[in-house]
Amino acid sequence: MQLIDLMPELEMSFDAFQRHHRLDMPAAREAYRAVFNGSHPLSLLPISQVLPDGDAAKIIFNVGQRIDAEAGIREYLEIESVILPMKNFHGGRWITLCISSQIGCRMGCEFCQTGRMGLIGQLSAGHIVAQVISARQWLEENRPGNEIKNIVFMGMGEPLDNADAVFSAIRRLTDPRGLAYAPARITLSTVGRIDGLWRLAREGLPPVRLAVSITSADDGLRNRLMPINRSAPLAELRQTLLNLPRSSRGRYLIQYVMLKDVNDSLTDAQLLADWCRDIPVTVNLIAYNPQDQPLFEPSPLDRMNAFMAVLKGRGILAKRRATICQSQMGACGQLGNRHLHR
């Protein structure tokens, strides 16, 4: 697998950059900022395609190729980022960028298109950071005035399955001399890799927000929907969230993909409420987004509302997440090249 070359400086801390280039402080600051402002072609990922859906858009990046010499096949490797326009009740508008951390994913969640690809390859920190720089550049050229305020690691891949690269990318994204995102504006979403969660706490990473995908609070069902549960069952995950130092991370976002007649009954809601007890959470209910060969159906709105009412009745903050970019297969659980499978 050959990943495309990017500037090695995209992965350097400011101190390493200054040492490497032997610059004085003002010159180093200026040069370091230039690495991240999109002015250099090697800090950008080539765009294969942009699929707009209203104000949202899925950007497909080319990250390299792999050659199967035996079969005489060359395949282009692609990852996806999604531009998500957001607004609040007070009229505020901003862009959230959903980025990928891997090419494919090996976690095998049953409701996810990327999971069907298997893991094709790991992205480097540079490829992760370059998605942000490239998306900013695309917005500047095509939709001026739109600024990426939030970044979510909710695209292709399980971030904690590529922790070295993701942690390094988070350091670059939050470096005040580089892209300068506040840690609270970055959300890392995981299926619950307990080892990764502890590493995140131990390594003194900037306090990004954490989202944990649950999708069922019943071990039997979660074993089937999210195979990670077989090695990291719900009780262990719950204990980890209770024990992790949280400092300024705020509440955990608990992601729950709602699948009609599978995990959306009132009993399922009670189980989830029990699981959340004493953990500072906001539960995000996400309607299942159908894929090219859907295995499930989305829960109807009235059932989602009834589910949410149970959670609220138990004192748990809960909201429904609106689906964005569904028609371009850019919504949650829909990312991934359906033709590229391992």
Q: Does 273 bind ligand SF4 (CB under 6 A)?
A: no
Q: How far is the CB of 277 from ligand SF4 (least distance, A)?
A: 25
Q: How far is the CB of 99 from ligand SF4 (least distance, A)?
A: 12
Q: How far is the CB of 295 from ligand SF4 (least distance, A)?
A: 13
Is 98 an annotated catalytic residue? Answer: no
Q: Does 212 bind ligand SF4 (CB under 6 A)?
A: no
For residues 288 and 260, give the distance between their C-alpha atoms in angstroms, rounded to a whole number. 8
Residues between 85 and 114 with contacts to ligand SF4, criterion CB under 6 A: 105, 107-109, 112, 114
Size of the site for ligand SF4 (CB under 6 A): 11
Q: How far is the CB of 156 from ligand SF4 (least distance, A)?
A: 6
Q: Does 9 bind ligand SF4 (CB under 6 A)?
A: no
- The β-bridge partners of 150 are 96
Q: Does 78 bind ligand SF4 (CB under 6 A)?
A: no
Residues between 105 and 164 with contacts to ligand SF4, criterion CB under 6 A: 105, 107-109, 112, 114-115, 156-158
Compute how many other C-beta atoms are within 10 angstroms of the C-beta atom of residue 173. Answer: 25
For residues 114 and 331, give the distance between their C-alpha atoms in angstroms, rounded to a whole number. 12
**In the set 125, 160, 191, 285, which binds ligand SF4 (CB under 6 A)?**
191
Closer Cβ to ligand SF4, 108 or 250, answer by number:
108
Compute how many other C-beta atoms are within 10 angstroms of the C-beta atom of residue 52. Answer: 16
Write down the catalytic residue from 98, 109, 276, 332: 332
Burial class (CB in 10 A: 0-12, 13-18, 19+), 78: buried
Which are the catalytic amino acids? 332
| Site of interaction with ligand SF4 (CB under 6 A) | 105, 107-109, 112, 114-115, 156-158, 191
